[in-house]
Amino acid sequence: MLKVENLTKMFGGLAAVNDVSVHFEANKINAIIGPNGAGKSTFFNLIAGMHKPTSGRIILDGEDITPLRCDYIARRGIGRTFQTTNLFETATVLDNLIVGHRLRTQSGLWDVLINSKRLQAEEKECRVKAREALDFVGLSHVENRLIADITQEERKRVAFALALATQPKLLLLDEPAAGVNPEETVGLADLMHKMVANGLTVCLIEHKMDMIMGMADKIMVLDHGEKIAEGTPQEIRENPVVIEAYLGSDEDAAA
Ligand code: ADP
Ligand code: MG
């Protein structure tokens, strides 16, 4: 579904992503691991169009999306979450979803000024979509709670729901389980499986090795911007290059 060819991103003299080629299959959980600074988030930023690559191509379902602006890429079906999600702390869960959805839909200033029919229809649609997304991620029961009053794990679910509002076919999740405890991590993993069961393709960056090893169909390992390995969890676990570069050298990551 997503084919990345020889992708490179230079920041000045630093190759944050260096000649990476990879293929993510539809309806699978693909994972990216690697030490801090390996280029994982930059790789996502390139796919989502927030950064333009120095060279290389990104092909989504046969279409070269490399030159497209990030809002067009979102409309082609790539959604994402960020390493940290900024939510409106003093607003309710539902209102955060509605605002998030609004930011991703179409009405311009003119529509707002004349409060057009289109805007009214969109607002109604936003509310419906927001509720659907909350139901999907299992947060309907807290829709009227303030963000400030929900748990870290529930916040992660809000971030998932925000990303789902654009109805992506490929969802990029940047460290979705960071800062949540092990039991809650299991719940988030279940949610990712549910997404795949509903036809989505997931690509996630994650430091929690036990989570990744238990759920990923395929893992790509980045180190200093380069792809050093790719394979099933079993293949990655046994790969001497990976053990040397990552698993063996980072106690935290292996924990
Ligand atoms: P990871 O997500 O794997 O921890 P990043 O993709 O965030 O790594 O960063 C990879 C490298 O690129 C790091 O050395 C980082 O400092 C650098 N980098 C990331 N974004 C920028 C940017 N916007 N400008 C300059 N350097 C950046
Ligand atoms: Mg990162």
Q: What is the pLDDT along the chain (255 residues), one digit of tens a residue?
A: 999 999 999 999 999 999 999 999 999 999 999 999 999 999 999 999 999 999 999 999 999 999 999 989 999 999 999 888 789 999 999 999 988 877 666 556 666 666 777 777 877 888 898 999 999 999 999 999 999 999 999 999 999 999 998 789 999 999 999 989 988 999 999 999 999 999 999 999 998 888 899 999 999 999 999 999 999 999 999 999 988 876 655 444 444
Residue whose Cα lies nearest atom 13 of ligand 1: it is 37
Atom of ligand 1 at shortest distance to CA of 205? 2
Contact yes or no for 178/205 (Cβ under 8 A): no
Pocket test of ligand 1: the residue of 14, 42, 54, 226 to mutate, having most ligand atoms within 8 Å of its CB, is 42
**pTM for the predicted model, two decimal places:** 0.88
Tokens 């801090």, located at residue: 36
The pLDDT value recorded for residue 249 is 52
Domains of the chain: 1-77+168-255 (3.40.50.300), 89-167 (no CATH)
* Cα distance between residue 194 and residue 163, in whole Å: 15
Residue whose Cα lies nearest atom 24 of ligand 1: it is 11
The pLDDT value recorded for residue 106 is 58
**Secondary structure (DSSP) of 91-131:** SBHHHHHHHHHHHTS---HHHHHHT-HHHHHHHHHHHHHHH
Chain Cα centroid distance, residue 52: 18
Instruction: Retrieve residue 144's tokens.
Output: 């009227």
* Cα distance between residue 191 and residue 122, in whole Å: 28
In the reported structure, the alpha carbon of residue 81 is separated from the centroid of ligand 1 by a whole-number distance in angstroms of 17
The pLDDT value recorded for residue 168 is 93
Atom of ligand 1 at shortest distance to CA of 222? 3
Atom of ligand 1 at shortest distance to CA of 43? 6
Nearest C-alpha neighbor of 207 from the set 164, 249, 245, 250: 250
The pLDDT value recorded for residue 254 is 43
Angle 14-20-21 from CA coordinates, rounded to 5°: 165
Residue whose Cα lies nearest atom 20 of ligand 1: it is 42
Residues with CB under 6 A from ligand 1: 11, 14, 16, 34, 36-42
The pLDDT value recorded for residue 247 is 61
What is the β-pairing status of strands 218-223 and 226-231? antiparallel
Q: Edge to edge, what strands does the sheet with 55-60 contain?
A: 14-24, 2-11, 55-60, 63-64
The pLDDT value recorded for residue 155 is 95
The pLDDT value recorded for residue 170 is 97
Nearest C-alpha neighbor of 208 from the set 226, 181, 248: 181
The pLDDT value recorded for residue 233 is 96
* Cα distance between residue 4 and residue 53, in whole Å: 11
Q: What is the DSSP letter of 250?
A: -
